[in-house]
A and B are shown apart, each in its own frame.
Chain A
Amino acid sequence: MRRVSRNERARVSLTLNGRKLAGEVEPRMLLSDFIRHVLGATGTHVGCEHGVCGCCTVLLDGRAVRSCLMLAVQAEGRTVSTVESLAGPDGALNPLQQAFQSNHALQCGFCTPGILMSFTDYLERNPQPTEGQVVDVLSGHLCRCTGYAGIVAAVLEAAQHHKRR
């Protein structure tokens, strides 16, 4: 049984984007803050901090989850992937990112990292989604500037790319 008292700092190790990393946290530290402030990967954005906006969505063992609704200590020993994992080592965008760019699926970009991570999980499970299915998954995110039409088009185009491969 793992116990961490409120005044204690626990050492948490996890795999972030393929690298084994560790940091010291209070039990109440959110995974989103751990990723950004302790591990320094600031691609994950934090919006509402109560699970509504979807900005902070990351992959936990391959599944899209809200990192603001999880504690850092809960991610101990787990694999976390953030938006930084998507592009190639040379910075080349992956097909999903490419499709976002060519369909003008972002404007300010604040919500984009979370949306990319959601569809990274979803397209893995359902590589040929219908427009309705894409809209349903997208309903777990808020975008306040560009609107959703471009995002839906981008995801469908990325699925087409996947099909051609």
Chain B
Amino acid sequence: MKPRPFDYVRPDTVEEALDVLAEHGEDARILAGGQTLMAMLNLRVVDAAVLVDITRVPELDCIRELEGSIEVGAAVTQNALLAWPPLAHKLPLLSAVLPFVGHFQTRNRGTVCGSIAHADPASEIPLALAVLAGEVVLRSRRGTRVVAANEFQKGMLMTAREGDELITAVRFPVRAGAAAFREVSRRHGDFAIIAVAAIAEDTDHVRIGVGGAADRPAVRRIRASDASAVRDAIERLAWELRGHDDIHATAHMRRDLLRRIGPLVVREALQCAA
């Protein structure tokens, strides 16, 4: 299908984008890679009075190294981050996760921040941001605020972004060499039925995150000193998730998948750390 009519605005700077958002608020939609938004517009499941195309704002198209974190601008595509030479060293979790995001062709245009903004509960990049305890940088004419990942993603497709705010970047804390990721989906590139990411904080503690089961990623810090402690922690997490039934899987199946994959991912993260 074709989208309903809308006004199109293509700002050249962040300031211009913020002016448009201040003027139109909730009626405006930010268009970056468009790999979800354009599909939704074509299917007419969402409408926009104004589309604000930020793909040609040069200051948003950069990856910067900050003190202890990597800042990825709102126009940076998933494949651009995947091809960033220091990625495997600085953000091994993202190296592991990005090949599972859509397909080669959609990653050429889809953005890292776009996945965060859309906040699909089964999406891999928000899961990685949550496990890494990253941050989202929001700007509006009122100012700039930096929101922690777990406060940003509120629920199913819901975030803390206000109508006049633009996500200008996300920040992933640098965690070298101790990450693992696995997911189960119907086909590679589909949204995850269950996705599990983990980073080892030390040889005894792991941060584990689960996507696809609840309405947003669930992250726990668990003691990983022995296999039974890991099994027990994952069993508790499986029930806390309150997973849902849908056409892809039942809640029961999701819990079962987590029981099987969870310990493997924890072990892989610990092996990376060792």
**Which segment, of A67-75, A99-107, A149-157, faces chain B?**
A67-75
How many A-B contacts at CB < 8 Å in the complex? Answer: 110
**A3 vs B79: C-alpha distance in the bound complex, in angstroms?**
29
Given known pairs A50-B43, A70-B109, A139-B189, the reply for A28 and B6 (CB within 8 Å) is: yes
**A4 vs B2: C-alpha distance in the bound complex, in angstroms?**
18
Q: Using an 8 Å CB-CB cutoff, how does the interface string of A30-69 with B read, 1 for contact, 0 for none? A: 1001000000000000000111001001001001111011
Contact yes or no, A28 B109, CB < 8 A: no
Contact yes or no, B104 A140, CB < 8 A: yes
Q: Which residues of B contact A121 (CB under 8 A)?
A: 108
Closest CB in chain B relative to A122 CB, distance in Å = 7
Given known pairs A27-B5, A69-B39, the reply for A1 and B11 (CB within 8 Å) is: yes
Contact yes or no, A1 B104, CB < 8 A: no
Q: Which residues of A contact B102 (CB under 8 A)?
A: 140
Contact yes or no, A65 B108, CB < 8 A: yes
Q: Which residues of B contact A122 (CB under 8 A)?
A: 104
Q: Using an 8 Å CB-CB cutoff, how does the interface string of A63-101 with B read, 1 for contact, 0 for none? A: 111101111011000000000000000000000000000
Q: Report the contact-size class of chain A (Cβ under 8 Å from the partner).
A: 35 or more
Q: Report the contact-size class of chain B (Cβ under 8 Å from the partner).
A: 35 or more
Name the residue of chain B whose CB is nearest to the CB of A59: B108
Q: Which residues of B contact A51 (CB under 8 A)?
A: 35, 38-39, 106
Q: Which residues of B contact A73 (CB under 8 A)?
A: 8, 10, 53
Contact yes or no, A6 B7, CB < 8 A: yes
Closest CB in chain B relative to A76 CB, distance in Å = 9
- State which of B5, B38, B189 has its C-beta within 8 Å of the C-beta of A69: B38
Q: Which residues of A contact B103 (CB under 8 A)?
A: 54, 137, 139-140
Name the residue of chain B whose CB is nearest to the CB of A69: B38
Contact yes or no, B7 A4, CB < 8 A: yes
User: Which 8 residue pairs spanning A and B have beta carbons closest together?
Assistant: A140-B103, A27-B8, A6-B5, A50-B39, A2-B10, A69-B38, A140-B105, A63-B108
26 pairs, A vs B, C-beta closer than 8 Å: A1-B16, A2-B8, A7-B5, A10-B8, A27-B5, A27-B8, A30-B3, A30-B42, A50-B43, A51-B106, A63-B108, A65-B109, A66-B105, A68-B42, A69-B35, A69-B42, A69-B106, A69-B109, A70-B34, A70-B38, A70-B109, A73-B10, A73-B53, A74-B53, A136-B104, A137-B104
Please give the residue numbers on chain B whose beta carbons come within 8 Å of chain A beta carbons, in ascending order: 1-12, 16, 20, 34-35, 38-39, 42-43, 51, 53, 55, 79, 99, 102-106, 108-109, 187-189
